[in-house]
Amino acid sequence: MEDLKERIELLFPQLVEWRRNFHKYPELSFQEARTSQQVAEFLRGLGLEVRTGIGGYGVTGLLRGKEPGPTVALRSDMDALPIQDEKTCEYRSQVPGVMHACGHDGHMAMLMGTALLLTEMKESLKGNVLFLFQHAEELLPGGAVRMVEEGVLKGVDVIYGIHLWSPMPTGVVGIREGELMAAADSFEVEITGKGGHGALPHEAVDAVAIASHAVVNLQTIISRQLDPLKSGVITVGTIEGGQAFNVIAEKCRLTGTVRSFDPGVREQLARRMEEVIQSTCQMYGADYRFNYLWGYPPVVNDSVEARRLAEVARQINDPAQVWEIMPVMAAEDFAYYLQQRKGAFCFVGAGNTDLGITAPHHHPKFDIDEKAMKTGVELFIETTLHYLQENSV
C-alpha cells in the first residue's frame, strides 16, 4: 500500500497535466469528440482492448489480468457544462461559454491514472478491469443509459464510481449504503385561460393568477400528502406569462424539477401533480397541458459494495476522514449501471478553503483541489484489488 502511495505521488504531476488539458478544452454533452479521442488513444497506448462510439462518444478499455477471474468496471464521466469560466488561472477554459464545472476533468485524469497503474500490475491480477469513460452525464437522457443499452456491462460483475465533491474537504471520502442520490425528474405546465383587458378581469380567465394558485397548491403535496418520514422536493423554477402590464394573460407556462428517492414516492408525486394542476385549472375555468419528464433514477448503492469502499477508504486514509453521509438531492446517471449490476458510488472531497477552492458545483468559478485526485486513484485501485482478491477462484 505504501509502494502504491509512492507511485501515485510520482504520477501526480501527470494527473494534473491531464486534468488541466481537459479543463482548458471542455466539450458539452453528446459533443465529446476530442475528449473521447484523447481517452481512446491513451488506452490504446496502454495496450488495452478499446471500444469507441458506445452509445455516442462512450469509450472503454479492457485490461485482462494474467489469470482469469471476475471483471470490475470503473467509471468516469467526460462532459462539461454550458457555463462561462470566470476563474483567473493558466488552465482556464479556452472554449467560450463551456467549462468543466463539476469535476469531470478530474474524474478522467483519475481513471487514466488508475488504468496506467493497474496495467503495470497486470501480471499479478486475477481478473479483469474495464475502464469506462462515459459521455453526457449532464444532459438527459444521459450517456449511461445508452451505453447500457449497447451492452457495455456485458461480462461485468461489479462497478464503482467516484465523484470529486467540493462541499467536502480534500481527501475526505463520503459514502453510504442504499440511497445516495435522488431521482431527478422535470415537468412543464401550460395553462390556457382567456386574455383580456387588465381593467376588465371579469371578462377574462387570468392564466397568471391561476398559475400562482397552482404553484402554492403543488407545495401542499410535499407538506400535507407526503409521508414526513420520506423525502421529496417539488420546485417551480420558472413562470412565464403575459406580454404587457395592462393585459390579462391568456397563457402561462411553468417549469420545474422533482426530486425523490423512493420509487413509490416518485410515482405518487407525478400522479398528484397532474391532479392538482387539473383541479386548480378546472376551479377557475382554464385548460392545461401537463408534461412530466422522467429523468435519472436514484443512485442506490449495494450495501456489500458500499461497505467494501468504506473499508478500503479507512485502510488508505485516516478513518476519521471516511464519513457516512446523508443522501444528496443531486442526481447522477450512474444509477443506470447500479440497476444492472451490483456496485457503489462515493464522493471524494475536493474543497480547500485555504486555497480559496470553495465555489459549488456548476458555478462559474468552480475548481478542485487537485490533490484530491490522488485519493481517488488510490481508492479505485485498492477497491479493485480488494474485490478481485476476495472473488477470484
Query: Which parts are annotated binding residues?
Result: 102, 104, 138, 163, 362
Distance CA 76, CA 35 (A): 12
Distance CA 219, CA 214 (A): 9
79 is catalytic: yes
CA nearest neighbour of 167 among 296, 309, 301, 326: 326
Contact status, residue 327 vs residue 180, Cβ threshold 8 Å: yes
Instruction: Dig out the grid coordinates for 183 from the structure.
Output: 431521482
- Return the SS3 of 174: strand
- Helical ranges in 99-185 per DSSP H: 104-120, 143-149
Provide the β-strand partners of residue 99: 81
Distance CA 71, CA 12 (A): 27
CA nearest neighbour of 22 among 114, 102, 88: 102
Distance CA 292, CA 234 (A): 12
CB proximity list for 119: less than 8 A, separation 6 or greater? 46, 47, 48, 63
Among the options 32, 77, 105, 137, which is catalytic? 137
Contact status, residue 225 vs residue 249, Cβ threshold 8 Å: no
Contact status, residue 216 vs residue 175, Cβ threshold 8 Å: no
CB burial of 55-87 (b: ≥16 within 10 Å; e: otherwise) equals bbbbbbbbbbbeeebbbbbbbbbbbbbebebeb
DSSP 354: G
Distance CA 143, CA 286 (A): 39
The amino acid occupying position 8 is I
DSSP 244: S
Annotated binding site for Mn(2+): 102, 104, 138, 163, 362
Among the options 27, 32, 77, 79, which is catalytic? 79
Contact status, residue 99 vs residue 64, Cβ threshold 8 Å: no
Instruction: Dig out the grid coordinates for 41 from the structure.
Output: 488513444
Q: How many Å separate Cα 373 from the centre of its chain?
A: 17
CB proximity list for 381: less than 8 A, separation 6 or greater? 4, 114, 117, 118
Catalytic positions: 79, 137
